[in-house]
Amino acid sequence: MKLTGSEIFIECLKREGVKTIFALPGGVVLKIFDMLHQQKDLEVILTRHEQGAGHMAEGYAKATGKAGVCLVTSGPGMTNVITALADAYMDSVPLVCFSGQVPTSLIGNDAFQEADNIGLSRPCTKYNFLVKDVNDLATTIKEAFYIATTGRPGPVLVDIPKDVSMAKTEFTYPSSVAIRGYNPTYEGNKWQIKQAAEAIMKAKKPILYVGGGVVFSGASKELLELAEMTQIPVDMTLMGLGAFPGEHPQSMGMLGMHGTYCANMAIHYSDLVIAVGARFDDRVTGKVSEFCPYAKVIHIDIDPTSIRKNVHVDIPIVGDCKAVLRELIQILKATVNGDQRELRKPWWDQIREWQEAHPLAYQQEPEGAIKPQHVIKRLYELTKDRDPIVSTDVGQHQMWTAQYFKLAKPNRWLTSGGLGTMGFGFPAAMGAQAAFRNRLVLCVAGDGSVQMNMQEMATAVVSKLPVKVIILNNRFHGMVRQWQDLFYEGRYASSYLDTTPDFVKLAEAYGAIGLRANSVGELDAVLKAAIETDKPVVVDVPTYPYENCYPMIPAGGCNHEMILEDPPELKKKQAGVPGTGSTEDKDTILTA
């Protein structure tokens, strides 16, 4: 039977097991939307902005491990979704984005709402396709899902001209994919893995440095087994949070620019770094030339270009984290003898010393302004039994959540690591909620970043996605203010948000629930009330505006040289400043 391009599109999505797509219509994709409208088992979540659609698909993908799918129209629809594609590319999120295109006869004519979608998306997708012939549509969609989800995952764009979505052809869905230029390596080189095992046996001060690759390859179980068997401490990257249980005694927490003191000291003084699915980002390494100067480096990564890109690697292993760790465990099982706990004792003694010297800390006065860290800590304690999914935007609140919200399992953490996209958190949380309707999904946001995609509250209300948004409201672009405090002599150039809206009223305007915690005493009750409702909620928490996020390695600094607290002159400046950052305090805040 002959099908139109639009019908083929829908058949293909079904064969790929897609249940939900995030979409916004437009002229050239109307035929596809018309077909989607007639489907019962394919849910379309209509977003208010294409960037929202892209981030929702990312949240869906990060929480489920499957490809997220979004559909946008030509021209402005495509340019709007670009940020989400770039974000997904940096964080290796499997995503398939379908864009509409003007009819093939008009391509290149500067037609209405035409954009060079292939050219625009090339640098921020893993691959992209322009389907010029309806006969190629099914194969292209199959290949798109295959490329997005295999190897190092990433976003793939499929550009479908209007006439292709209308044309008819015989439908056959290919059963397999063969692309001669694309053959990801899954099994690691056995000889290299053996070398790695030997290095691990010899090392006195080894450290596991794990990233998002462990989450994507589903290697958390193997990682835990390896870590416990060898008694090696575990540092996690921002993307790797949840790959290893946050409360495990061997967890050092996050490393890098705002990582814990012990995580950074441990990697700096280690003699063997075992990097698993992590890519030595500059926010982790600081000054590359002085990064872990005493260590040999083992690097396990499915992407050969990640290896030796930033740092010298002694034992490179190209392969899937899960497969390589399994193999490594097999070899170590045969060779590990003696009590590893005893063997590693001097190293652990040193680490415990570091942990006790500078634990993560803040001071919450019972009657004082609410400290942002306290909000995260209470949120964690009140929700940890419910195994929540947590998303964040980008900024101070993101770093505090990374520090204080100790995730126990993978696929619970949605954050924009590589691109650092403000406005990511709220739509991403909605994407995860669309995948898991009955789970608790939290979004920690800043008052600055949440305003970048606040319009999606309408989507949350209409599509019944009961995401709980907790806004740490300091009326600043907080991370910008922190840098201005530390490196620009406290000149707050364009970081004070004078006209922050009343988020409670704003939530109510959209038909969601708005709550506010005005004091430390109210905080728990408000958070509990938010968690208990089955509607989208915005919790506005006015916080102490001057709180800075520590430890901090200044950009280009060295991992063992962390700033641990505000310098004295800054502390002096902050003393006596009103706490909440409300507009009434504006003059005092800006002149302090």
Annotated catalytic, 50? yes
Q: 31, 62, 126, 162: which is the annotated catalytic residue? A: 162
The H-assigned helical ranges of 203-304 are: 212-216, 220-230, 261-269, 282-285
> Could you tell me which residues are beta bridge partners of residue 161?
101
Annotated catalytic, 113? yes
Do the strands 2-4 and 168-170 form a parallel or antiparallel pair, or are they unpaired? antiparallel
Annotated catalytic, 479? yes
Tell whether residue 171 is a contact of another protein (CB under 8 A): no
**373 Cβ contact partners less than 8 Å away, ≥ 6 residues apart:** 360, 362, 364, 400, 403, 404, 547
Tell whether residue 123 is a contact of another protein (CB under 8 A): yes
Tell whether residue 127 is a contact of another protein (CB under 8 A): yes
Cα–Cα distances in Å, from 442 out to 47, 237, 303, 391, 465? 19, 21, 32, 6, 11
Tell whether residue 136 is a contact of another protein (CB under 8 A): no
Q: How far is the CB of 298 from another protein (least distance, A)?
A: 18
Residue type, 325: L
Per rule CB under 8 A, count of chain residues that contact another protein: 17
Instruction: Compute the distance between CA of residue 574 and CA of residue 565 in angstroms, rounded to an integer.
Output: 13
Binding part of the chain for another protein, among 125-133, 219-227, 362-370, 448-456 by CB under 8 A, reads 125-133
**552 Cβ contact partners less than 8 Å away, ≥ 6 residues apart:** 257, 258, 482, 486, 562, 563
DSSP string spanning 197-208?
HHHHHH-SSEEE
Tell whether residue 126 is a contact of another protein (CB under 8 A): yes
**Cβ distance 74 to 28 under 8 Å?**
yes
Q: Which residue of 181, 249, 366, 576 would you call a contact of another protein, by CB under 8 A?
A: 181
Tell whether residue 382 is a contact of another protein (CB under 8 A): no
Residues in contact with another protein, shown as a per-residue x/- string from 307 to 336 under the rule CB under 8 A: -xx---------------------------
Q: What counts of helices (H) and strands (E) characterise the chain?
A: 25, 20
The two three-digit tokens of residue 488, written as one number:
């620009």
Residues in contact with another protein, shown as a per-residue x/- string from 83 to 122 under the rule CB under 8 A: -----------------------------------xx--x
Q: Whose Cβ is closer to another protein: residue 136's or residue 522's?
A: 136
Q: Which residue of 45, 102, 120, 147 would you call a contact of another protein, by CB under 8 A?
A: 147
Binding part of the chain for another protein, among 126-134, 258-266, 375-383, 410-418 by CB under 8 A, reads 126-134
Q: Whose Cβ is closer to another protein: residue 185's or residue 195's?
A: 185
Instruction: Compute the distance between CA of residue 379 and CA of residue 426 in angstroms, rounded to an integer.
Output: 17
**Cβ distance 255 to 261 under 8 Å?**
no
Q: Whose Cβ is closer to another protein: residue 127's or residue 436's?
A: 127
Annotated catalytic, 201? no
Binding part of the chain for another protein, among 177-185, 194-202, 207-215, 583-591 by CB under 8 A, reads 177-185
Catalytic residues: 50, 112-113, 162, 479
Residues in contact with another protein by CB under 8 A are 118-119, 122-123, 126-127, 130, 147, 179-182, 303-305, 308-309
